[in-house]
Amino acid sequence: MNAVLSGWLAQTLATDAPALPSALALQIWSHLGWSVVLACLGASLVGRWLPSKRSRLDGRQWGVALLLALWAWVPGPYSPTYWLSLAFQAPSVAAVLLCDALLRYRFFSTRSSSAVADTPRRFALALAALGVLVGWALLLDTFARLPVQLYAWGFSPAAAALVGVTALLPWVVANRPIAFGRTRWWVVPVAVLVFVLWRLPTGNVWDAVLDPWLWLMLHGVVINGALRAWRLRKQAVTGASAVESARDLL
């Protein structure tokens, strides 16, 4: 029994024979992923530089998003996908899902605004902080500053199981049920599912849920959340002081 358990554990933690994505799946994912990311980036920049009075995407944002998405599918060096893949390989599944969620939020803002506003922010901030910590750990592993090979462990089945279980923790610890329509809570579980099925983008689970650009964005989310919490606490302290001063005057 111990020999069987030891063999199963060794196979679960093994990283010497990783399952990699097929060349066709990787090529399709590169074009698909960069098309979604570029469309989201283009629509966001146009919306910031040329804001419209309506809440939905106007014609300019639609046009830029569609043009960039189609341009990413052009074969050869005339496509931005060619150069982005050389520099950054393929975007993570989580980043593509988040960009897709941002685009759909722009397209159907009236439908999803209430769901986004009701989302518990503490869980989103905790997951963002966890992503920042994992990114720093992977960076230290790149410079061989950790006692374990964290990135190499991402090729093992145990790593995918651990990331998947961690992504489901909000449903376990939440005081109230989380609606299935809230996209942000499905980003990491769906990314892990896509990774398990097609091993995208590199066969390593860390590349499926995190990439350098997403890691930098998570820093902004954590800093913004910390500043917001500090402002709320400061306002609460100021309000309490004002109430005490009013009582003293009375």
Which one is predicted more confidently, 78 or 232?
78
Q: Taking 80 as the threshold, does the pLDDT of residue 19 lie above it?
A: yes
pLDDT (0 to 100) of residue 13: 61
Q: Taking 80 as the threshold, does the pLDDT of residue 74 lie above it?
A: yes
What share of the chain has pLDDT > 70, as a percent?
Answer: 74
Which one is predicted more confidently, 126 or 10?
126
pTM: 0.84
Per domain, the residue ranges of the chain are 20-91, 115-237
Please identify which residue in the block is written with the tokens 């189609």.
Answer: 70
Q: Taking 80 as the threshold, does the pLDDT of residue 167 lie above it?
A: yes
- Please give the mean pLDDT across all residues of the chain: 82
String of b and e for 48-76 (b: at least 16 CB within 10 Å)?
Answer: eeeeeeeeebeeebbebbeebbebbeeee
pLDDT band at 111 (very low <50, low <70, confident <90, very high): very low
pLDDT (0 to 100) of residue 186: 85
Contact call for residues 42 and 68 (beta carbons, < 8 A): yes
Query: What number is the average pLDDT over the span 44-66?
Result: 76
pLDDT (0 to 100) of residue 23: 92
Query: What number is the average pLDDT over the span 1-15?
Result: 56
Query: What number is the average pLDDT over the span 168-172?
Result: 77
